[in-house]
Structure 1
Amino acid sequence: MTTLVVCLDRTDDVGRKTGLRSPVVGWEAVRALVTDVGLADPEDSGVNSLLETLRVAQDLRDENEEVVVAVVSGDRESMVSADRAVAKQIDELVATYDPDSAVVVIDSAEDERLVPIVESRVQVDSVDRVVVRQARDIESTYYLLKQFLADEELRQTVLVPIGLTFLVFPMLATFLGPAQGAAAITTVIGIFLLYKGFNIDDWIARVGHQVRESLYSGQVSVVTYVVAAGLTLVGLFAGVLGVSSLDDPPGVVIPAMQFAFDAVPWLAMAALTASAGRLLDEAISDEPIRTSFLNLPFIVVSVSLVVRGFSAYFLEQQGVEEPFSVPAYEFGVVSNESFTITAGERLALFVVVAIVISLVGARVASYFSGTRNGDEAELADGSGSTIAEPDRESSADSPSELTDGGPARESSPAIDSEPTADPASEPGSNDEPDSRE
């Protein structure tokens, strides 16, 4: 009784990695193929399929059966051509060895589709499916989980919130109800994820470090920042009071404009106070004042004027704010009657003044920047002249270069690069010995 033990490879991994053409028939040929495939790709499960084929053949030989070992591969062009190539090779094996039955060895669902082709040619007694005991993905997951559990920071970041959720949710569900408990838990988890996602903890640590450094170094900006925080709170409070004084306004635009109109002056003063403290720190330090700090107060005033102008325009259009009236005045020979400025005229005036202030700020910043660059250039020129003069004096006072002419000429790269001339033609080459004599 002859049994065909055949290993099926539909995608031709064996031929692609070893360069051999199938079918590969014979015990020694398949055993050599195991080495070739293993050296080409040690992680390929096809190596296990080939070894399983040899093991099954060895077991059948131990039972005194005649065994033919073969490896059949498909084609890489298409699935149809691969199936036809396998069918042709099975026909050749059946015609050559005339087996009574077959044992098919496969290692994937893709190769299992070839089993009906083999069954149509020869009786199949068994289908041996090779499953690798330790798959790479499972092993990688295990080691990643082990590394995760060994990292203390990751444990505190992931496991602690999950554990607290499992502990708190039953209590909340008992006292408040499942819906309220789930809502509270999801809210806390969302806040925690945002806290970690925006790196708020790093920002808090950085701000705390800067505050400590400012306190220990005695910077003026510490006091101005506190004053700016107080002015910001006052501005927010003033904005809320302004919104609360409205009589049931429709929509959201009017309350937002009222809040901006009342809060912007205080917020602008807070920003100016903070920038003034920063400017004082820059002026006290040895380093020159940066252009951005010089331009910041002008930008703050310009932006506040624009916001104030637009908010006043919307409020005046809705009748919330009264039109701006200029009272009558008399100053010497100059006098004027009272008049009213419309909303558009006031908005244009605010915008023009803001643009002028921003241009003045840019001009002031560029002026101080140019003055600083000029001072640095003068310092650089002065340092160069003071370094060059000692070199000239030292070269003039060196007696070795004046009296010893030979080494001086040898050490000069300009003289060494010139072609060698006749000693008699060199001036002073023969005169010096005569004068010493």
Structure 2
Amino acid sequence: MADVMIAVMPFHGHVAPLVAVAEAFLAAGHRVRVYTGAAHADRFTAIGARVVTWASAPDFDEHDLPATFPALRGKKGPRQMLTNVEQLFVRTGAGQATDLTRAYAEQPWDVIVADGLSIGAHFASELTATPWVTVSIVPLTIPSRDLPPPILGLQPAKGLAGRLRDRALRGMTRMVSSGIQRAYAEERTRAGLPLDDLALEQAFMSPQLVCASGVAELEYPRSDLATQVVFVGELTRPRANDAALPSWWPDVESCRDPILHVTQGTLNVDPHDLIEPSFTALGRQRVLLIASTGRSDVAELPFTAPPNARVAGFIPYDSLLPRLDVMITNGGWGGVLAALAQGIPLIVAGGDLDKPEIAARVAWAGAGVNLRTGRPRPRAILDAWRRVTSDGSYRANAQRLAKSLSAHDGPREVVDHTMALLARA
């Protein structure tokens, strides 16, 4: 039996996969504590884990980030991404480390298992000299000499000119992110740690074990993939739950037309970005559109839905996904993997953060269309839908990925790999 500390950044999209991981550790008989924001504590206490909440680190409401991080106000696109990384994920690091080391002093853990954006787990691992496992809940951001910089949403270039392009972009990215690199150095100092020479992308990933969600078929080929990386498939598979189906669900059960799901995830949930143009594009087509707002307390939209559309805050995926023909998504990794695990082709509008990278990988794998923006025009959505429905290769590739994903049991594999690491320590 091991004592496990799980560190989770307090976002719904981060919490859901780590709940599954925590459940797997508990089912295997291990003791589990979870470090996360107060808003998500109940998710973990409900499964029997003890919770340590953010205290020295500034706890926040993911639906109103500027209230805690004013520098984010009014920013979108690349500026939002850079500010997000610095303010939320880097400059909270020393505070996270303080909270975690306090918890360690009260009861030592054997291993800290953290989502791939918890820099505080890295610091706490160093300060306590304990093993650290990263669970990457987004595509790998470990830099490579064979690839363009991560998060730019660019597929690897071909030929000498392409390799030179990628090398130049890697240099430019280091320049643009120099402020974030300085923030990382400052947080190490605040945490009482010596400076190191790690690039920020490396600092988020454990040198001992990285459990990467997804499968190798969704990862660009690279000759320098770190040996500690293992792919574990999905972390959160849809399952039966107590969430009520919306009152209009009989319309879904009786529908004979193609069913499309439109989702903007749970972070940037302005419905004008993706839901509204999807309604404009497909409101007169012979399809049933099912839109989710990403907020359980918001089940309506600020504009009129067409007659062939239905709207809810959240919709249980165990009921919805088996009925879908196509998903139109902002590119959240969990939702993308859930759709691909069902063999559902995708139309991806990846606007910011990791979403452009996810959209590019889906297109590279041939399982969907990359709209190359988070705010697509209706015509682009209509054209993408026609491509996906008329070209059978998109569904065939999605089904190929579904077969690969079905070979994994992500949460159990995280437990097995972690226990093997402890056995070697």
TM above 0.5: no
Instruction: Give the TM-score normalised by structure 1.
Output: 0.22
Instruction: Give the TM-score normalised by structure 2.
Output: 0.23
Q: Per residue, is there more helix in 1 or in 2?
A: 1
Which structure has the larger Rg?
1
Q: Per residue, is there more strand in 1 or in 2?
A: 2
Higher RCO (Cα < 8 Å, 6 or more apart): 2
